[in-house]
Amino acid sequence: MPDWVPDLPTSPGVYTFIDPHGHPLYVGKSVNLRRRVRGYFYSGGPDNERLAEMLRIARGVRTVETGSDLEARLEEAERILFDRPPYNKALKRRGAGWYLELRWNEPFPRLRVVPRPRRAGSRYVGPFWGRRLPERIRRLIEKIFRLRSCVEPVRPHVENTPCLQYDMGLCTAPCARHVRIDAYRRQAESAARLLVDREYGWRLIDRFSEARDRAAAALEFERAAEHQARVDWLEELDEYRFAIDSEGEARSWLILLPSPDEGHRVLQPVAAGRVLRRRTIEWVDGAWQEAIEDACYAVGVAELGAAAVLSPREQVPSAMVARWLEDGSPDGVAVDLTNVDAEEAVRRLGSGRVA
């Protein structure tokens, strides 16, 4: 055991290996800090060459004790995303993301996959932790609504020749004036709606299925096949809903967690899916009520300034909280702040009973 490894607590928390200059090298979390950190040095060190190299450089370890697994997870994620230690890979990659963009201020909007939501007048869905899935969703939506996929700006003219997309029935060809601007924008409006409204997708499946049956009854088999293709694309899109829908994560919460300090609690506010700064509060009459009221006010202010979509950095802790809520809020208490004022939040969190 190197002499720079201090005597560590056995409590849960987050550890950071640092280099001789104090720069973070690697961040991890554990339910038992002492056991976890000492574990790196048993049996000649880790098999993983990357971690072994990190330990050869490391000259110290810092720890932060936490009272719950959720706090440890959030603390670990924040340190990785903000300090960007060179030997952490997985979470760091999640600090970048991709968005589906519909540029509404163009006459003939098209879908793009972009690394950040930057343009006013555009609609965004995301973030996605990778480019492949939003590209697949983009292609499906283009086909369902016959939106253009060409990258150049459209200059409509009757003498333009549409590309193969038109011949294949996959674009209404605004380039050759086969569709008027208002009709094309209705196509784009329907696409934007489908991205945020799952039930609309189900209604479209019904509508295209009925149209397919009518066409087949009239012996218009080519037309029936076109409708069936749209049903197939809509059903495939429905399978990707897990990545598009973030409704559960966009709500506001006040979460009370245990603290490693006797007579204290950790108060974690969440505003429209954004995980705000945590506070350790003294659990004595007067102080905790005031802290909860302050946190409710902070949530209200943050909701006012919240963008329509989470940034990739906001998405990581937001998904952690969403998963914790889905698991039944182990160790803590959560109050959904939708239609709940500060007085009611004080009443509901008043027992302070956390595991």
Residues in contact with ligand SF4 by CB under 6 A are 148-150, 154, 162-163, 165-166, 171, 173-175
For residue 171, the minimal CB distance to ligand SF4 (Å) is 3
Strands 253-258 vs 111-114: parallel, antiparallel or unpaired:
unpaired
> 166 or 253: whose CB is closer to ligand SF4?
166
For residue 132, the minimal CB distance to ligand SF4 (Å) is 22
> 149 or 228: whose CB is closer to ligand SF4?
149
Separation in Å, CA 23 to CA 62, 89, 252: 11, 16, 35
Separation in Å, CA 181 to CA 74, 109, 186, 342: 48, 10, 9, 49
> 173 or 333: whose CB is closer to ligand SF4?
173
> 46 or 156: whose CB is closer to ligand SF4?
156
Distance, CA of 129 to CA of 334 (rounded, Å) = 27
> 226 or 294: whose CB is closer to ligand SF4?
226
For residue 278, the minimal CB distance to ligand SF4 (Å) is 49
For residue 163, the minimal CB distance to ligand SF4 (Å) is 3
For residue 107, the minimal CB distance to ligand SF4 (Å) is 12
For residue 110, the minimal CB distance to ligand SF4 (Å) is 8
> 100 or 173: whose CB is closer to ligand SF4?
173
